[in-house]
Chain A
Amino acid sequence: MNDLLAARYQMAISLAFHIVYASIGMTMPFFLFVAEYKWIKTGKEVYLNLAKAWSKGVAIFFAIGAVSGTVLSFELGLLWPEFMKHAGPIIGMPFSWEGAAFFVEAIALGLFLYGWKRLNKWIHLGSGLLIGIAGVASGFFVIAANGWMNSPEGFDWINGQAYNIDPVAAMFNAAWISQSTHMTFAAFAATGFGVAGLHAILLLRGKFPEFHRKAYKIALTFGAVAALILPISGDFSAKNVARRQPEKMAAMESLFKTQERAPLLIGGIPNEETQEVKMAIELPGFLSYLAFGKFNAEVKGLNEFPPDEWPPVLLTHISFQLMVLFGMIMATIAVLYFVFSIQWKKILEKSLWLKILAFATPLGFLAIETGWMVTELGRQPWIIYRIMRTEDALTSMPGIVYPLLVISGIYLILTFLSFFLMRRQIQFIHEQANTNGS
């Protein structure tokens, strides 16, 4: 494996790993907040138990998210020093804000996790909310840096050097708000469906129904609201991409030739050689509508761009199709959940419904991963869009396949260990509940 590919894999694996834990760490505190608030308001013990049980999960996921985030702050330089040398002073600003927000998050987490007995309950509740707010803020800030890679602004690029650097313009780049908004709701949807699915699985096993039912409802309410917002924030993102990065849009939808009334493809396998797409369902004009709000608008195809500037069409296309599929399934479940909650509450107790939720457990995370594949693969071959090629940012240290193997091995072990620990937590909580007879 050549060094460029190894470095790209290492970055992809590190980010794919981190994003799961970071998403849980920044959204689940809100679930905790609701559970604890309900406990304070109703005095029902089950909400307190729920908040405590969840907080242990958050503690583990947060720790893994924090260390893998620390690793990323070094990996940017270990793998892409040429990129960081130029980009550091331009996009350092969002990183500074992210660092500050993350710091607040970590302190609030310490107060929350260890302060059950020492803090006044309202201060404790407030610390829970603060973890979430600071967490979401840190995620929102750091995506500004990625937005800048897609929409590089705030500098003049002359002979391979950046001049007239304006960090504020760089931070407020055209891609930031749409990317950050979409990702924030995606994190809520993924964590909401993930947590709800887990409790649905436990409900199906018939253990402690009151506890798990209350748990899944809090989680799914967050997840479902987010899942309904995602198509809107996604549309906002798609229009933004179509305007700024037409070749990414063309790759997402495998549009090889510029055309008016461009069709939206559902599914399909594109072939870059023959420039054909097999087995796709075509909806004429819908891509034009999706990208520009008019059915007969012209959408640029890949033929407008030199082939050595094409993103990998097949992977970008499939990732996009999968992301949309996962998102649509979640949105459908969300609609059903609200309809059932208002009109047919009894259905929410049925095992078929719980099975649907159990099936949806990983969907949000899969949507996040495939969505980031679209963002990152769709920007290739550039690390800074139309400014610096990914290969030119690479470290000069050879043998990157070795750190790649090490990091992959470690993250694989940690993935297994986090499942292992979750199981043990659940087992322990059930055993405790059995001995307490509640």
Chain B
Amino acid sequence: MIELTIIFIGISVLLYVLLGGADYGAGIIEIFTGSKRMNTISKAIAPVWEANHIWIIVVIVILFNAFPEVYSTVTMYLHIPLMLVLIGIIFRGTAFAFRYYDPFQDRSHKIYTLLFKIFSLFTPFFLGVTLGAVILGNLTTDNTLSFHDRFIAPWLNLFPFSLGIFIVVLFTYLAAVYLIGESSDNESRKQFSRYSIRLLIALVFSGAFVFVSAQVNGLNLLDMYLHSGISISCAIIATVLLPVFLYALRKGMKNMMRIIAGAQTAAILTGWFGIQYPVLVVLNNTSSLTVYNTVAPAKTLLMMIIALVVGLAFVIPLLLYLFRVFKFTKGEEI
């Protein structure tokens, strides 16, 4: 039962990163392309963005169902970065909807677009910071310490910030790859192709920076990585896929590129899982929260899994249909 729960969390996180991530990334790319590609970007994400962002709700619900103490500890001690994430989610989502549905093209559209771009960058960055703080493990439940030590120091550090940068680059990369296939003209296709190569290089560098900053913050991430068979294999897979991606890009195989980018992301996440499992949250003053010491009773897991399986039996076919209608047909206005 625990294994099934972990698999459900893993799939939901992966889908959130791929779908929601590409969605955030599309907003980040707009910072660089400006209004020239606005239509392509808006059209690419409009029908699917709300569905794409529900994966994070699925992750949250599984978390408080199955590992309640993990949820309550993270929300208690990482209140501030999570609040920033929420502010980002609110502004980004509403700015996008307003931009799409405000019929008059005037100054207000400039404001929506500006907010959409800023918070497309801001939100995943603080998601990364939050995640970084969980991995770094400076969270403390010792309530004799100062406000700064309990609620700020655990996340205001180099490693969480480097992870924030990494997540931003990853999401932007996913978006670039996604948008290559969404472009209707050659010029934008070329532009997004150029972006995807640059972002891939940036991804390698920001990934390296994550390891360096982990060392700086006293977390021996590299050592942990090298001691996990899963993580090493994932690193190898992700590296081998680099030239394959470049080949697919040169040949213009848009679906192949998407699959490779998805596989790379899955490899990155699994690699992280390999070093983290079974620990979920590292606490520095007491024993860490693991899958085993926080898991809810079997009956709770069973009921949750039934709900998820039945729910997904509706969601997955509908989702595929949604994507088929809007994503795998060419041309024509929607």
Contact = CB atoms under 8 A, between A and B. Distances in A.
Contact of B303 (A168, A398, A425): A168
Interface string B296-330: 11011001100110111011001101100110010
Chain B interface residue bracket vs A: 35 or more
Given A118-B334, A165-B296, A86 B76 contact: no
A63 B312 contact: no
Nearest to A410: B90
B82 interface: yes
A168 B297 CA distance: 13
Interface of A is mostly: helix
A84 B64 contact: yes
Nearest to B151: A397
B54 A106 contact: yes
B333 A77 contact: no
B53 interface: yes
A406 interface: yes
A64 interface: yes
A395 interface: yes
A421 interface: yes
A119 interface: yes
Interface stretch (A87-95, A223-231, A359-367): A87-95
A76 to B, nearest CB: 8
B75 interface: yes
Interface string A77-89: 1100110111111
A88 B296 contact: yes
Contact of A424 (B53, B103, B296): B103
Nearest to A162: B297
Contacts of A118: 325-326, 329, 332, 334
Interface in A380-438: 395-399, 403, 406, 410, 414, 417, 421, 424-425, 427-428
Given A66-B93, A81-B76, A107-B315, A73 B61 contact: yes
A413 to B, nearest CB: 9
Given A60-B97, A89-B296, A115-B325, A110 B65 contact: no
A92 B54 contact: no
B104 A64 contact: no
A56 interface: yes
B56 interface: yes
Given A77-B74, A103-B315, A106-B50, A70 B56 contact: yes
A40 interface: no
A351 B179 CA distance: 53
A218 to B, nearest CB: 21
B98 interface: yes
B277 interface: no
Given A77-B76, A78-B75, A101 B93 contact: no
A279 interface: no
Contacts of A303: none
B238 interface: no
- Output the residue of A62, A81, A101, A118 with the most chain B CB within 10 A: A81
Nearest to A141: B307
A102 B314 CA distance: 11
B300 A108 contact: no
11 contacts: A62-B50, A63-B50, A74-B82, A85-B69, A88-B71, A106-B51, A115-B326, A115-B334, A395-B79, A396-B76, A428-B104
Given A88-B65, A92-B303, A425-B103, 14 more contacts: A63-B94, A66-B93, A67-B90, A71-B86, A73-B60, A89-B68, A92-B61, A92-B66, A104-B311, A111-B47, A114-B334, A166-B299, A167-B303, A396-B76
Interface of A: 56, 59-60, 62-64, 66-71, 73-78, 81-82, 84-90, 92-93, 95-97, 99-104, 106-111, 113-115, 117-119, 165-168, 395-399, 403, 406, 410, 414, 417, 421, 424-425, 427-428
